[in-house]
Each structure stands twice: as C-alpha cells, then as structure tokens.
Structure 1
Amino acid sequence: MTTPVAIRQAVGDDAEGVAAVRRAVYTYKVMSPEATRHLITVSRPEERFLALIAESEGVVVAWGSAGLNVWTSEQGQSTTSIYVHPDHRKQGIGSVLADRLHQHLTEVGAVRTRAFVHPDGLEFARNRGYDGTRQMHYAGLDLGTLPDQPPTPDGIELVTMDELDPRQAYAADSIASLDEPGDSPLDAIGYDDWLADVWNAPGLDKSLSVAAVAGDEVVCFTAVETADDRAWSGMTGTIPAYRGRGLAKLVKSVALRRCAAAGITSAYTSNDDENGPMLAINNWLGYRRVQTELCLLRPLGG
C-alpha cells in the first residue's frame, strides 16, 4: 500500500529534512542544513520564490522550488528545481510538484524556466516540455591527494575572503560572472542582493575561500562552501585583464589545502561543458567526474 504524501509550502524548520533528501539524491552536491534554511527563508519579493516539500508520515521525501532570475537583464527568466528521494519515486510526486511550480511561474510572469536533471530524469522532463541546451559536469576530489601548489606571481597577494571588504569581492564576482556560460547573462547583480545571497549566506566559509589581490583589487577568487566534512566550489572567477596567468589554478590549490587542514576530506565542483579552461584546471587538481546533468529549458505562458 502506498503511504499518503502531503505537499505544502516549505518552512525553515524543514531544512534538516530537505538537506537529507538532497544528499540522498545528489551525493556530489554540498549544502548544509543552515544553508538550506537560508534558501527557504531568505528571498526578495521580486523573485516570487516558491518552495514546496512533500512529506510522508511527517518525513520530508521531496523538494520543489521555482522563482524568477533577478540577476539577469532578460525579463521573465526563471529556475525550477525538483528532487524526490529514491525510495519515493514513481508515485507521481514529481509530477504534482512540476505542475504547481509551472503554474506559479506562469502566474508571476515567467516566460521560460531552466532546470538541471539527471540523465535518468530526461524522459520525465521532456514529457513536461523541457528541451536540452547544455551539459553540466560534476566532479569530486579526495583532498589527501593534491598536486604541488603553483608559485605565486610577483605583484599578487593571496588572502582569505574574511580579510576582504565585501565590496572588493563583489566587484570581482560581478565582473567575472558576466561571461559565465549560461542561457541568460548574469548582468544585473545588485550589491545589496549579492550581500544577502552570497556574502552573508551561511554556507560560504570565508576562512577557506581564497582571493588573489593586486594592489587593492581582487583579480581572482574561489568561493568555498562547506557542510560537515565536504566542500563545494561555489564560484571561481578571474577578471579579464588577469586571465591566462594561472591564478585560478593557484587560488583553488590554496583553498583546497586550507580545506584539508580544516579536516575536510572531499571536495566537489561543477563545470559547464563549454568552460574548457576551468575543466582543465580541475582535471589538473585531480577532480574526477562523478555525474553529468542536463541543463534544460521550458517555455511558459503564451
């Protein structure tokens, strides 16, 4: 007999359960319960963010969320995320979540939504109007086997992010994000929103995140998020004038060593299929691919 499943809006106290489901589905993604609570409870009105959970006998078994992308100048862009615990699939939970989220996005003016899916979820997504665009590769690394750290170039100082003024980090992040591979440009990142969503997010460990500084300018950085004994490379970026100098390889190498010294045993990262330079850096560091997800798009409204 199938156990009844209830779907409702997520609240902060669901964070532990959501994080557990996420880890069961995505062993290669890192998000602590604290970061999950932040995701559920901190959003701006213009995002029109909706987070849903499915629960069975009081236990969270699935997650669904959707909201407008407010970091792009392209109007009506949105994102959708759905994942169901492996023990509760094939019960229609994902379908119900998808229908409710798509309806919500249409009501708030979204014209297109993006989702990442496992290869085994491709049929489910295609049956709901999604079509393929790109691949996202995920890779893991045992921090006990790191290559030698590259030398630091003259004129470059390495610092941890907790030594920076947030505006220094914001300037570098907003510039480096402009040419990130994607379906919509990240060209509308406001400082206050970035401060709340990135800098003050509980998952970001500024003591492990590393930046390369030239004078007073952050020219390269890598942001590290942590959960227990695992680390995640949230973003690594170099401003255009300093690319091709090996700085991304350097800051990631230093950050991973700091992670190892802090007792973290494994690190994970993701790369868009189009980002060849970053793929090469991660291969050199010793990352090995653990999963490839498909980035899909679905039109809305009309």
Structure 2
Amino acid sequence: MQIRPAVAGDAEEVARLRRETYSYKVLSADAARHMITVQSPGERFLALVAESEGRLVGWGSAGLNVWTSEPGQGNISIYVHPEQRLQGIGGALSDRLHEHLQEIGAVRVSTATQPSGLDFAKRRGYDGTRQLHFSGIDPRVLPDLPATPEGIELKRIDELQPEQVYAADAISSLDEPGDSPLDAVGYQEWLDEVWNAPGRNPELGVAAMAGEEVAAFTVLSRDGDRAWTGMTGSIPAYRGRGLAKLVKSVCLRRAAEAGITGAFTANDDENGPMLAINNWLGYKRIATEHGLLRTL
C-alpha cells in the first residue's frame, strides 16, 4: 500500500471509490478532477490517495476554511473502501494530514464520520458537535407542484449572471448551520469553486426571481442518473413564502425529465425548515453522520 499526493489522473478512480464507499454522495469524475486541481491558495489544500495493487482504496484531504472570518479553521476528510478497512490505511492518512494541518496553522479542525468511524475519530481527539442527515428521493415521484406566488418568476440558473446567484448564496449562507460561520465567501473563490465547477448542471437549477433579485434558489450536480442538491437557499427578506419548497420541487422535476432516478442531499440536524421541506417532498433518510471537532 502506498500513500501519495492525488493528481488529476486519479479522478476516475476517486469517483469510483467515493461511489463504492458512500452510495449517497454524488461525485462525478469531472467534479473529482476539479476538487483535486482547483482551490484557493489560502486553503493550503492537500489531497492524498492510498493505492494498493494499482487500485485506489483510500482518500484523504485537509486544508483551511477560507470562507469564514474565523482564523485557523481547518477541515479534514478521510475515507477507506469498506473492503480495505482495519489495515492501518485510515490511520496513516490521518497522521499525514494532521501534520499538514499543524504546518499550515490550523487551530481547530472539523470533520464528519459515519457511526462506524466514531471510535477512530475519538482516539484522535475529536468530539461530537452535531449530526448530518443524508437522504434520497426518486424525483419521478413527487407531491403536487406548489403555486408560484404573485410577483415571483422562475428562471433557470443558467439564465442568470453569476453575480446574481453569488449575492443570494452569500446572504443565505450566513445562517447555514455549521461549526464556523460562512461569512467570508469571496466572489472569485466562489466563481472558481462553485459556479465554474464541472458536474454542476445550471440548466436544471432553479431560481425564484423578485425582479432582478434572486429570492431563492437551488442548484444541482449530477453523475449519470444520480444527482446531488448541495445548496437550497432563500434570502431573509423573502422567507416564509414557500419559495425554497417551490424551487426544489421544480428542480427535481427537471432532474427527472433529464433521466435522473436518484437525487440525494444532506441537512444539518439544526436546519429544521429544510428538513421539513425535504420530508414534504418525500426524501427518505439513508444515513446519519456525526459532525466532529478537534482543537490542535
């Protein structure tokens, strides 16, 4: 078994590993390549892969959160193929990545793990802070479409200028549950890592427009017949009008028309309004992960 830095040519194998390890986390090969090759310099991002007999069996990455005003906030992600666990791969990745985090000045590190990984994380100094619920739906089977409120027009995300979507994303992210506030999202970083990310399907994303302002929106990324909705948001001035429910309902219908048969998402345990929307749509819980923190 060899641990080495990830390179763009690993993208197909990384996507395969992710799919076989977490069936409910959608990552296309193009999106994996983008994740490996495109980051803000301030992240000091390090991605590693564990390779055995020419096949990737583990992934690890770590860096600094540059989307928060709190300095020294790091994050780490480690996963090992289910058939290759308990062989020291996760521990070797953890040692390398925590050394990197200390070198780049991280003072606190966040991660998430399935229940089976809790003991592994706790032995390395992590403790629980919250829960993340993953759920899925067949977008071909949905409740009736909600009515569009007066004064609201629905548009595809690809009909908008990126500045319009960025403004709504930055505002709606301010109260997104998490261990650090998302209050320092730079436009150029957002453009590189979100708007221009491959695998994102702006023709399927939906925005509820109040004039030229994005009042609510949802975006979608796909990998074949599976899709991931990573962000559905509405700005505070337009909340309470059912716009998040509306845009997600329309987005899922467009996904079904595009041949998607499984749509997945994740919600923090504290995000009651979004959990209620997903329950109404018919999402079924697949897995729960524990959000964890460690002070270095």
Range class of TM-score, shorter chain: over 0.9
Q: In the alignment, what sits opposite 1:198?
A: 194
Deviation of the 1:230 alpha carbon: 0.5
Q: In the alignment, what sits opposite 2:213?
A: 217
Deviation of the 1:203 alpha carbon: 2.0
Deviation of the 1:44 alpha carbon: 1.9
Mapped pair 1:68 → 2:57: no
AA paired with 2:261?
T
- Counterpart CA distance in 2 for 1:87 and 1:140 is 24
AA paired with 1:109?
G
Mapped pair 1:280 → 2:290: no
What whole-Å deviation, never above 9, does each CA across 1:224-267 have from its counterpart, x for those lacking one?
11111011111000000000100000000000000000000010
What whole-Å deviation, never above 9, does each CA across 1:30-83 have from its counterpart, x for those lacking one?
110100000000112211000000000111110000000000000000110000
- Counterpart CA distance in 2 for 1:277 and 1:196 is 29
* Correspondence list, 1:88-167, <5 A: 88-167=84-163
AA paired with 2:233?
G
Q: In the alignment, what sits opposite 1:44?
A: 40
Q: In the alignment, what sits opposite 2:255?
A: 259
SS at match of 1:297: strand
Mapped pair 1:17 → 2:3: no
Q: In the alignment, what sits opposite 1:241?
A: 237
Deviation of the 1:25 alpha carbon: 1.1
- Counterpart CA distance in 2 for 1:42 and 1:273 is 30
Q: In the alignment, what sits opposite 1:82?
A: 78
Deviation of the 1:118 alpha carbon: 0.3
Deviation of the 1:144 alpha carbon: 2.3
- Counterpart CA distance in 1 for 2:208 and 2:119 is 44
Q: In the alignment, what sits opposite 1:268?
A: 264
Q: Cα RMSD (Å) of the superposition?
A: 0.5
- Counterpart CA distance in 2 for 1:184 and 1:203 is 27
Q: TM-score, normalization: structure 1?
A: 0.97
The structure 1 segments of at least 4 consecutive aligned residues displaced by more than 4 Å after TM superposition are none
- Counterpart CA distance in 2 for 1:112 and 1:220 is 32
- Counterpart CA distance in 2 for 1:297 and 1:205 is 33
- Counterpart CA distance in 1 for 2:153 and 2:164 is 14
What whole-Å deviation, never above 9, does each CA across 1:269-292 have from its counterpart, x for those lacking one?
110000001000000000000000
- Counterpart CA distance in 2 for 1:60 and 1:251 is 38
SS at match of 1:187: coil
AA paired with 2:107?
V
Mapped pair 1:174 → 2:154: no
- Counterpart CA distance in 2 for 1:121 and 1:183 is 19
Please say if residues 217 and 233 of structure 2, whose CA atoms lie closer than 8 Å, have aligned partners that are also in contact. yes
Structure 1 residues not aligned, in runs of 5+? none
Mapped pair 1:299 → 2:295: yes
- Counterpart CA distance in 2 for 1:160 and 1:234 is 16
Q: In the alignment, what sits opposite 1:208?
A: 204
What whole-Å deviation, never above 9, does each CA across 1:205-241 have from its counterpart, x for those lacking one?
1000100000100010001111110111110000000
SS at match of 2:111: strand
- The aligned length equals 296
SS at match of 1:67: strand
Structure 2 residues not aligned, in runs of 5+? none
Give the share of equivalent positions with the same residue, in percent: 67
What whole-Å deviation, never above 9, does each CA across 1:2-30 have from its counterpart, x for those lacking one?
xxx00000000001111111111111111
Please say if residues 5 and 48 of structure 2, whose CA atoms lie closer than 8 Å, have aligned partners that are also in contact. yes
AA paired with 1:172?
A
- Counterpart CA distance in 1 for 2:41 and 2:286 is 36
- Counterpart CA distance in 2 for 1:104 and 1:70 is 16
Q: TM-score, normalization: structure 2?
A: 0.99
